[in-house]
Amino acid sequence: MSRAALLVLADGRFPAGGHAHSGGAEAAVRAGRISGAASLEDFCRGRLHTAGLVAAGLSAAAALGIDPVALDRAADARTPSPALRVAARKLGRQLLRAARATWPSAELDALGREFPKGAHQPVVLGLAARAAGLGPVDAAYCAAYESVSGPASATVRLLSLDPFDATGALARLAPEADRVVDRAVEAARRAADEGLDALPAGSAPLLEIGAEVHAAWPVRLFAS
C-alpha cells in the first residue's frame, strides 16, 4: 500500500467527471444563497455535515468490504432527489472507468458488471480506494473533501470568486472534515457488525430541493 495513492485518488484532476458538477452550488448561487466567500464557506460546511458525511460513511463502508449492492441501496434511500441519484450514478460510472484503468481489480470489474449504468459514486469511491490499497479512513477523507472541493471550484467559476478565498474556505473547514471522517469511519465499522442503519443519513433539505430546481432549468453550466 502506498499513501501517495490517496493523493492520486483525491486529486481534483483525477479524470472521473467531477468537473462538470457543482454539488448544488449552481442552484444556490442562482437562488442568491451563495453570493461570496462567506456564504460559500457556510454552504460547504452544511454540505460537509450532511451529504459529505453520508458519502464518507458509504465510502468507508465500501472500503471495509461491505456488500456494494446493499450499500448502493442504502445510498438510494439517503438520496431522495432523483436528480441527485442520477448525478451520483453518472459520477459513479465515470469514477469506475477511471479507477479500473488506474488500479485494475476484480472487485471493480465485478461492480461494473453489477451496475453497467453506474453505482452511487461514494460506493465506487470506497472500492476504488480498496483497489488502490487504501483503507476506510482514506476513502472517507476523499469523500468528505470532495463534498466541499467540488462546490468551491464551481463557485469560483460561477461567481468569478477570488480562488484564494475559495481555497481559504476549504482550509478552514479542514478540522470539521476530520470530525466528519471520524464519525463516518466509526459508523461504517458499526455498520459492518450491526447493519447499514448504522450509516449516517444526514439530510439537507435545500440541497434536495435545489437539485430538482436545477434539473428543471433549460440552461445551466453544470450537470448538477
Partner 1 sequence: MHLEHHRDTPTALSADAHRPDGIRRALRIGLGGPVGSGKTATVAALCRALRDELSLAVVTNDIYTREDAEFLLREAVLPPERITAVETGACPHTAIRDDISANLEAVEDLEDAVGPLDLVLVESGGDNLTATFSKGLVDAQIFVIDVAGGDDIPRKGGPGVTTADLLVVNKTDLAPYVGSDLARMAADAKAQRAELPVVFQSLRGGTGVADVAVWVRAQLSAWTA
Partner 2 sequence: MSVPAGAGAGAGAGVRSVARIVARADGRGGTSLPVLESDGPLALRRTRSAGTGARVMLVGAMSGPLGGDHFTVEGRVEEEARLSVGSAAATIALPGQAKGEARYDVRLDVADGGELHWLPEQLISAQGSDLRVSTRVELATTARLVLREEQVLGRVGEEPGRLTSRLTVRVAGQAVLDQELACGPGAPGGWDGPAVLAGHRAVGQLLVVRPEFAATPVAAGLLGEGASVVPLAGPAALVTAVAPDALRLRRLLDEALASLPRT
Residue 160 binding partner 1, by CB under 8 A: no
Among 5, 6, 10, 17, which residue interacts with partner 1 (rule: CB under 8 A)? 17
Residue 154 binding partner 1, by CB under 8 A: yes
What backbone phi and psi angles, to 5 degrees, belong to 63? Answer: -65, -25
Task: Report the distance separating Cα 139 and Cα 183, nearest Å.
Answer: 13
> Using CB under 8 A, which residues numbered 59 to 98 contact partner 2?
73-74, 76-83, 85
Q: Which does 16 bind (CB under 5 to 8 A by kind): partner 1, partner 2, none?
A: partner 1
DSSP 4-15: HHHHHHH-TTSS
Residue 185, CA distances (Å) to 131, 143, 145, 199, 210 in order: 18, 11, 14, 9, 28
- Taking the complex as a whole, the smallest distance from the CB of residue 149 to partner 1 amounts, in Å, to 14
Task: Report the distance separating Cα 204 and Cα 210, nearest Å.
Answer: 10
Among 145, 187, 202, 222, which residue interacts with partner 2 (rule: CB under 8 A)? 202
Q: Which does 112 bind (CB under 5 to 8 A by kind): partner 1, partner 2, none?
A: partner 1
Task: Report the distance separating Cα 209 and Cα 31, nearest Å.
Answer: 12
Q: Which does 109 bind (CB under 5 to 8 A by kind): partner 1, partner 2, none?
A: partner 1
Residue 93 binding partner 1, by CB under 8 A: yes
Specify whether the CB–CB gap between 103 and 132 falls below 8 A: yes
Residue 51 DSSP one-character state: I
Task: Report the distance separating Cα 123 and Cα 74, nearest Å.
Answer: 10
The mark string for 25-54 relative to partner 2 (x by CB under 8 A, - otherwise) is ---x--x-xx----x--xxxxxxxxxx-x-
- Taking the complex as a whole, the smallest distance from the CB of residue 212 to partner 2 amounts, in Å, to 4
3-state secondary structure of 21: coil
Specify whether the CB–CB gap between 129 and 113 falls below 8 A: no
Cβ of 77: how many Cβ atoms within 10 Å? 11
Among 38, 77, 101, 174, which residue interacts with partner 1 (rule: CB under 8 A)? 101
Comparison of 19 and 73: residue with beta carbon closer to partner 1: 19
Give residues in contact with partner 1 (CB under 8 A): 13, 15-22, 90, 93-95, 97-98, 100-101, 109, 112-113, 116, 154, 157-158, 218-223
Q: Which chain residues interact with partner 2 by CB under 8 A?
A: 24, 28, 31, 33-34, 39, 42-51, 53, 73-74, 76-83, 85, 176, 180, 196-197, 200-209, 212-213, 215-216
